[in-house]
Amino acid sequence: MNIKHLLKTIAILLAIVAVFGVAMFGLNFLTGPIIAENNKGAEFAPLLAVMPDAENFEEVTSTLADIPESVIAVYKETSGKGFVVRAKASTQYSKEPMELTFGVTADGKICGIQLDVYTDSIDFRTKDANYITSFLEKDSALADIGTVSGATYSSTAFKDAVSAGFSALISNQLIAEGVKSDSQILAEMIPTLAPGMLKLEDAAVSGNIEKAWKSGNDAGFAYVIKSGEASYLALVNATGACLVYDVAGADVTVAQTAVADEAKAHAAAAQKSYVDALTTKVTRLYASAAEITSIEINTFNTVVAAVSFKVDGAEYYGFYSRSIGFHQMDVYFVIDANGAIAKMDANQFIFDKEYFHGFAGMDDAAYKAGFEGLTTDTWNGDAAVIATATMTSNAVKQSTDDVFATFNAIKGGAQ
Amino acid sequence: MKNFFKTCLLRGTPSMVLALGAGFVMASSADIRAALGMGAAVLISMILTSIVVSAIHKFIPAYAKLPVYLLIITGFVSIIEMLMEAFFPIVVNMLGAHLAALAVSAVIYRDAEEVADHNGEWTSIKTALSTGIFLTVIMIVCALIREVLGNASIWGHEIAFLANYKVSALAGAFGGYLVLACVLAAIKKLTGAHEHLEEEENE
């Protein structure tokens, strides 16, 4: 190749580059703004979906303080129409967090909401197609927003994510806080006052009962009951014990006997008794068990039945706990008079092995034996651990905690 | 005309004979919109490249043809990509890097090097047109099969009654090649291409 050919080749290549360069430079004037608009549209598409009349958005996440972990981003509508929040939420069934986007108008009401990512095995949208749209027009109080029966965890997580988004806006004084009704305040006290009532579902109301919930694990009922001008929260556990609270969270059971009686009567008609099942279990564990006596308990955890009994003159206490792991768990404990676990049993530990990746099986007998002899002082949760089955382990741990709490309440007398 | 199409299928469509471009045919045939977009991009870039190459091939030294032709193809593909990004962003999103990879596609380069480099503009355009059209048709046929059976949708709209019966593997790469192979086999059978090829081998 001589220098002339080389120069010719270079000239041709440069000419082609120049021609295309100029063409693309010119074309960029036409397509550049359109592409930029498209990119902006793609970025803001989820935001526009929940606030269609928005003109533009500006992300303000980094300028806000005390943002809950579940809030992914907060956008401000530049013409002052409100804000759009992107949030995420996880449940114990989630492979990946669910993600949602909702718009809040300047006066603090939800103007649009959508679920962007959802991977739970149970889809609350198929169980209640209107659940998501029921959030529209609600303020931060989220009045009358409950959970979806059969998809309690995921719908609760969805609602909590919306609440977290509101918290971010309210704590940064971007919107005013919605006013919660007494009924709502009382309902929000349930998980704290009755932590064993899991998977609450709406129940039928009657008389002075404004709202009623039945726990999915049969641990009891919760009611908001009107008495005069005030509303009260009444909790009835699986053995029929009742506590009444006012909106300030004070125990007013003694003063509000009518409320307690109404709650007890309502619960008695629907509460399933687990005493017989526990009695049967006790007699299987101890063939010589005698004087089996049901005990009413005043704890509001996952324990649904308790009995006392004697074996060869020695006193024992039997407990039936219904915690929830991957599925409903039925866990039994027998505790001796000194507070040490004598026996532990469960109907089933592992339900669907295919969901437990890497599950190598478990020795049920050895696992149960690991609880024997444990007392409140020596129990630290380790005995409940089942490798790779975190949800089941947590459920057994909760049951053990609850049984010890109930035993101590019985023995202490101040349940 | 019948012979023209048949000849195109047998000889003119590199995807038919040499399986050139099978990569982008597979990549863009999961959705009919993507198939149409890719088909249009291939067709236009082939025609434009053929026109330019057939016009200037006499001035290009033999040793410089590869870089020059690739530069021309890259230029046209870049322009087409810019236009599609502006006016058909959804299709560009679907095609991803495969649209830009057209610049080094053997189909377009073969068309430029084997046809446009040795013929006049009209013949080159005709060949580019037939090759491009048939590639587009193959992509659309594959996309129709893959989108309907693999995704239970058509033109992005869900086909509700098929939702529980979709064969997801067809939407993936393996399914793409499988469907492409079946479509090529069917075309060869329908057009008698296998007999034609056997005759050629005997000769």
Residue A8 domain-assigned (yes or no): no
Distance (Å) from the C-alpha of residue B186 to the closest C-alpha of chain A?
A: 40
Q: Do the beta carbons of residue A180 and residue A163 sit within 8 Å?
A: no
Q: Which DSSP string do the residues of A23-73 spell out, in sequence order?
A: HHHHHHHHHHHHHHHHHHHHHHHHHHHH-TT---EEE-GGG-SS--TTEEE
**Of the candidates A247, A270, A293, which is a domain's last residue?**
A270
Residue A415 pLDDT > 50 = no
Does residue A196 share a domain with residue A141? no
- Bigger pLDDT: A52 vs A354: A52
Residues of B in contact with A35 (CB under 8 A): 82, 85-86, 89
| Residue A13 to residue B82, Cβ atoms within 8 A | no
> What b-and-e string marks burial along A336-374, b requiring 16 or more CB atoms within 10 Å of the CB?
beebbbbbbebeebbeeeeebeeeeebeeeebbebbeeb
- Mark which of A171, A195, A222 sits at the end of a domain: A171
Q: CA-to-CA distance for A171 and A159, rounded, in angstroms?
A: 18
Q: Is A291 in the same domain as A408?
A: yes
What average pLDDT does the segment A56-63 reach?
89
Residue corresponding to tokens 């300028």: A63
Q: Domain limits of chain B?
A: 7-202
Judge whether A213 and A202 are in contact, CB under 8 Å.
Answer: yes
Q: Under a CB-based contact definition with an 8 Å cutoff, are residues B50 and B127 in contact?
A: yes
Contact A16 B83 (CB under 8 A): no
At CB < 8 Å, which residues of chain B contact A? 59-61, 63-64, 67-68, 71-72, 74-75, 78-79, 82-83, 85-87, 89
Please count the helices (runs of H) and the strands (runs of E) in chain A.
9, 15
Instruction: Tell me whether A338 touches chain B (CB under 8 Å).
Output: no
Instruction: Tell me the sheet residues that pair with A105.
Output: A82
Q: Does residue A298 share a domain with residue A261?
A: no
User: Tens digit of pLDDT for each residue in B38-97?
Assistant: 899 989 998 998 888 888 888 888 888 888 888 899 999 999 999 998 998 888 888 888
Q: What is the pLDDT of residue A357?
A: 61
Using a pLDDT cut of 70, give the percent of chain B over it.
84
Pick from B66, B70, B81, B82 the residue to mutate for testing the A interface (most A CBs within 10 Å): B82
Contact B89 A30 (CB under 8 A): no
Q: Is the pLDDT of residue A146 over 90?
A: no
Does some domain include residue A129? yes
Report pLDDT for B200.
53
CB-based contact, A7 to chain B, within 8 Å: no
Phi, psi of A320, rounded to the nearest 5 degrees? -120, 115
Is residue A300 a part of any domain in this protein? yes
What single DSSP character describes residue A251? B
Tokens representing B170 are 């067809």
Kindly state whether residues A298 and A333 are assigned to the same domain.
yes
Residue A310 and residue A333 in one domain? yes
Residue A25 belongs to a domain:
no
Query: Among positive and negative, which fits the CA dihedral A305, A309, A311, A316?
Result: positive
Orientation of helix B121-145 relative to helix B32-56, angle to 10°: 170
Alpha helices in A254-329 (DSSP H): 257-270, 275-285
Domain of residue A70, residue span: 57-171
- Whether the predicted pLDDT of A93 surpasses 70: no
Number of domains chain A contains = 3
Interface confidence, given as ipTM, is: 0.76
Question: Are A301 and A387 in a shared domain?
Answer: yes
Does A165 share its domain with A78?
yes
Strands A98-105 and B157-158: unpaired
Last residue of a domain, one of A241, A270, A299: A270
Question: Which pLDDT value is given to residue A353?
Answer: 58
The pLDDT of residue B4 is 56
Residues A230, A148, single domain; the answer is: no
In this complex, do B63 and A30 lie within 8 Å of one another by their Cβ atoms?
Answer: no
Secondary structure in 3-state letters for A342-373? EEEEECCCCCCHHHCCCCCCCCHHHHHHCCCC
Q: Among all chains, which residue has been given the structure tokens 């992509």? A: B139
A29 CB-contact burial (10 Å; exposed 0-12 / middle 13-18 / buried 19+): exposed
Judge: A27–B82 Cβ closer than 8 Å, yes or no.
Answer: yes
* A276 touches A283 (CB < 8 A): no
Buried b (16+ CB within 10 A) or exposed e, A63-81: ebeebeebbbbbbbbeeeb
**Which tops the pLDDT comparison, A10 or B9?**
A10
Q: Model-level pTM?
A: 0.55
Note the pLDDT tens digit of each residue in A235-250: 999 999 999 999 999 9
Window from A58-62, A64-68, B72-76, B99-103 with minimum mean pLDDT: B99-103
Model confidence at A268: pLDDT above 50: yes
User: How far is the C-alpha of B145 from the C-alpha of B36, rounded, in Å?
Assistant: 14
Kindly tell me if the per-residue pLDDT of A37 is higher than 90. no
CB contact (8 A) between residue B60 and residue A27: no
Residue B181: which pLDDT band, with cuts at 50, 70 and 90? confident
User: How many Å is the Cα radius of gyration of chain B?
Assistant: 18
pLDDT band at A414 (very low <50, low <70, confident <90, very high): very low
Do A90 and A144 fall within a single domain?
yes
Instruction: Give which of B197, A414, B151 is closest to B142, Cα–Cα.
Output: B151
Is A190 found in the same domain as A167? no
Average pLDDT, chain B: 80
- Most confident option among A115-129, B2-16, B53-67: B53-67
Contact status of A18 with chain B (Cβ, < 8 Å) = no
Q: Is A120 within a domain?
A: yes
Closest-approach residue (CA) in chain B for A19: B75
Q: Both A283 and A358 in a single domain? A: yes
Average pLDDT over residues A55-61: 88
Contact B61 A24 (CB under 8 A): no
B138-156: average pLDDT: 88
Mean residue pLDDT across chain A: 87
Q: Are residues A133 and A222 in the same domain?
A: no
Model pLDDT for residues A175-208, shown as the tens digit of each residue? 888 778 888 889 889 989 999 998 888 888 888 9
Angle at which helix B121-145 crosses helix B173-191, to 10 degrees, equals: 120
